[in-house]
Structure 1
């Protein structure tokens, strides 16, 4: 139960002192003047476009402009299992700007990890209690051979593959790769494109999910707190892979 401040009415023993000191200009048998509490400060609006104005037709151009005006490169993703420090890639400017915008607007703070597949990936960005209004726009792909699905990779999900030949990304559904360690032959056989020798080495020593390469946009990676992915991936889940106990998300942009 919340506690309230004690009332500031003078007691009988202190009446003379209070009146002498001029703290009250009324007698002790009178009700002291009532003062109104100061109004709470209104938070400053978060810069950037109104999320309901974004659409497939303008998202790319609006987000590029936003990213140039309000740059950023690192953020911390807080969960009840710990924190993950994430670095965003400069050569995926649309996805980067979109993630920064939604993080700063508080959209991800109203979401949870809603799909968890142990040994593969954890996906977040949805919830049953979102209040911030946002339209379901899509992002053009920024798939690069330089970025692959190693352990800790941050990528954007997409839906309706048959109706989405352009591989447009979701605007809110992101995932973090857990994956597993694979031999060079295994990773190359699973990958959706040729892998470099260095990428094969990373899959063998660090692990990942090469089956996603060339199909989804990777736009960042976890640089601290990789163990948090394992803890979330180990959560008991429902038949549709939603954790039985919600794993809430809160994101702070660092710089």
Structure 2
């Protein structure tokens, strides 16, 4: 099954979307970089039509120098859903994309089906403070992304799935500038996000690797308690790149999106 490519003008921003699969639509939002790529979506493609946009300034999408906070990305994605003609797509977000997906559900949850937040950023909970990514030496970064370092290392220069060192550096510089624009307003989160989460109407699955060193897994319980219709799956023995380290958790995500569960129930589950 091959990825298709859609290129759209979203209020003046050239936006590139990869699409794969057949079935109900899923809008999947990547994190603060595109290091790990989009191959993970193949595991959902037999059951869903997965739309994987590059955020403005990331990957193959064009720049958006007007962006000065996460709310600009929320509006961008609402325009994108309209442009793609998606009706009640499920919403999946990883890391910064999880923060983005959460805010989308806070302000426009009725536009979406079910919600999956995979190690979401954005809360900055004082009891679960992770490291400042800017302070992590580049050679140590793969160890913060995956518990089994070799899984993340394959995406970095010298790895089997990595671009050339020059392309890797250019991508990180481009995406670093775009990320800085997103963080202008409130930094790597919003101080009131925890208060907003109770407005999310969607049935929600929180997925977290129990060895995550970048966005600490202790936050999973905080998110689950704050969102009214939430459950959590803690994935043992994996880090921030849970779907790359243990692809079976993608089956759990697919089952959740496909079957749902009774509204109002909350549980904590490990597998």
TM-score category of the 2 structures, normalised to the smaller one: under 0.3
TM-score, normalised to structure 1, is 0.27
Q: Which has the larger radius of gyration?
A: 1
TM-score, normalised to structure 2, is 0.26
Q: Which structure dedicates a bigger proportion of its chain to helix?
A: 2
